[in-house]
Structures are given as structure tokens and as C-alpha cells.
Amino acid sequence: MITANTVAEVRAQVKQWKKEGKTIGLVPTMGYLHEGHASLMKRAREENDIVVVSIFVNPIQFGPTEDLASYPRDFHRDSEVCQRMGVDLIFHPDPEGMYQENFCTYVDMDVLTEQLCGKSRPTHFRGVQTVVSKLFHIAAPDRAYFGEKDAQQLAVIRRMARDLNFDIEIVGCPIVREEDGLAKSSRNAYLNQEERQAALVLSRSIREGKRLIEGGETDAAAVKASMRSIIASEPLARIDYVEIVDGDSLQPMDTINGLVLGAVAVYIGKTRLIDNTGFIEG
């Protein structure tokens, strides 16, 4: 397994692989890897000759009051996970290597980034789209793997790839959960024991929303009220949003009909966690 810290190293290696006719699967991550990330690597391993994983805590996708400085990092352990998953190359740049002095070019999007996490994190998706575009240009993958855990991100990247003609297949992978239902996340490391228990309200409310939608409930307000009441029962939880949106436009809907996404963002203490139903038919 190769560890590359610079864009030039990745480019040279990718050029060689392309010459040999090899297909490349890219898994972009911010590190502190868990089984959710590993599931993306496994899928990439199955579908490509070469698997590239990027590990980069991308500063421009964090707001000024967010957790950039405290975001958990453990490159040594991440490297072991990648080795175990049969990764060929880890791209682990430093921020200065990705954003040279006077960097001022961004990729942005309307509509899909207006709601859900875009509301409370107004510059987040611009940062995500910009770094993912850069990674697409650097690693030149045939396929790129993203988790449904970040359903809005997946929808945004799919749309960006389509709109900007990236010749890359965007592959969405199901949410990997802990045994008790909590969606795996690097940010779960912030939770103390009591908060870890309280965090179960996210998956419980998502399960309930999914049950109601799949059971034929078409009144979005009724579904949201049931989901909210589960979260409100937990004193350590504070709702950022509970939303049912159209699966294509990610705009809120009153009457559930066709492909939809139920999604929540909840603060458990100081930690903001997200979960969603996946894109389901209502």
C-alpha cells in the first residue's frame, strides 16, 4: 500500500495505472475510519482494479464555529484499516497542499443545498463539492463511493457529477449501524456514556418515520410530529431539523408521494449527529 502526501505523487501513480488499463475506485473520507468507511472500501475493492482512499479533514467544509480543530484524527490506525481492506493508495495531503495561497475557486449548487444540513451549515456543501471535485481531478477514478449516511451529500455529489459532466460513476452505499441502531460516525467518539445512550433517539425516530411512510402515511406533518416526539423525550437531545423531503429536489413536502427522504439532525450535548431513512418510496 502506497501512502501519498502530495497531489504530484498521486498523479504520477494514477498515470501509471491508467497506462496499464486499470480501473480506479475512489473512497473520499475525513479519516478516523470505522466500519461505515470500511464498507465503502469493500465495495470499491470488489468493483475496481485499484482502490484509492483519501483521508483529509477538509477545512473549507467546516463553519467558523464548528469542530475542525477537535475533529478526531488517528492516521496510524486509519492506515491499518486501509491495509486490512486491501487499499492500494492512501492520499493524505496537508491543507496547504490542497489549498495553495490565494485559493479562490469553488464549486457550488442551488436547490439541493438549501434545506436540511445546508440550512444550518450554509458553506458546508460548497466545501464538500470543491474538495470532491479536486479529488476527482487528482485521482481520476472510474467510480467513487459515498455513504447514504450523508444522504444529502450523496444527492449533491450525484447532481454535481451529472451537471458538470464528470465521467465517474457515483456509487451510494447503505448506512452501517451499531448493533443498537446508532449510525456509525467518527463524531460518535465525542459522546460520553450518557450521551451515547441518548443518541439512540436519532435511529429510533428514523425507524418510526420509515415505518409510517412505508405503511402508507401521506401526511408529512404527522410523520414529522411522531419523529419529533421521540427525540423530544430525551432531555440531552436538541433538534436541529426533522424533515421529510422530495427525493429528487430535497425540498420539503406536505404530502408524501413518490421517492422521499426522511432526515434528522440532532445535538446530543454539544455533538451534532445526523441520520436518515434512505431514499424510500412513499
List contacts with ligand AMP (CB under 6 A). Answer: 29-30, 36-37, 39-40, 146-147, 149-150, 173, 175-176, 183-186
Q: What is the nearest approach in angstroms of ligand AMP to the Cβ of residue 186? A: 5
CA nearest 265: which of 244, 245, 242?
242
Q: What is the nearest approach in angstroms of ligand AMP to the Cβ of residue 203? A: 11
152: helix, strand or coil: helix
> Is 37 one of the annotated active-site residues of the chain?
yes
Minimal CB distance to ligand AMP: which residue?
Answer: 147
**Catalytic pick from 37, 76, 124, 137?**
37
User: What is the distance between the alpha carbons of residues 163 and 73, in angstroms, rounded to a whole number?
Assistant: 33
User: What is the distance between the alpha carbons of residues 94 and 6, in angstroms, rounded to a whole number?
Assistant: 8
What single DSSP character describes residue 1?
-
Query: Taking the alpha carbons of 43, 274, 29, 270 in that order, is the dihedral positive or negative?
Result: negative
17: helix, strand or coil: helix
* 72 vs 97, beta carbon nearer ligand AMP: 72
Point out which residues pair with 24 in neighbouring strands: 50
Q: What is the nearest approach in angstroms of ligand AMP to the Cβ of residue 33? A: 8
Cβ–Cβ < 8 Å for 28, 37: no
Q: What is the nearest approach in angstroms of ligand AMP to the Cβ of residue 60? A: 13
Q: What are the backbone dihedrals phi and psi of residue 19, each rounded to the nearest 5 degrees, phi first?
A: -60, -35
* 157 vs 230, beta carbon nearer ligand AMP: 157
Q: What is the nearest approach in angstroms of ligand AMP to the Cβ of residue 149? A: 4
> In which order are the strands placed within the sheet that holds 24-29?
2-4, 89-91, 50-55, 24-29, 143-147, 169-173
* 205 vs 224, beta carbon nearer ligand AMP: 205
* 140 vs 183, beta carbon nearer ligand AMP: 183
* 38 vs 232, beta carbon nearer ligand AMP: 38
Give the residue numbers annotated as catalytic, written as ranges: 37
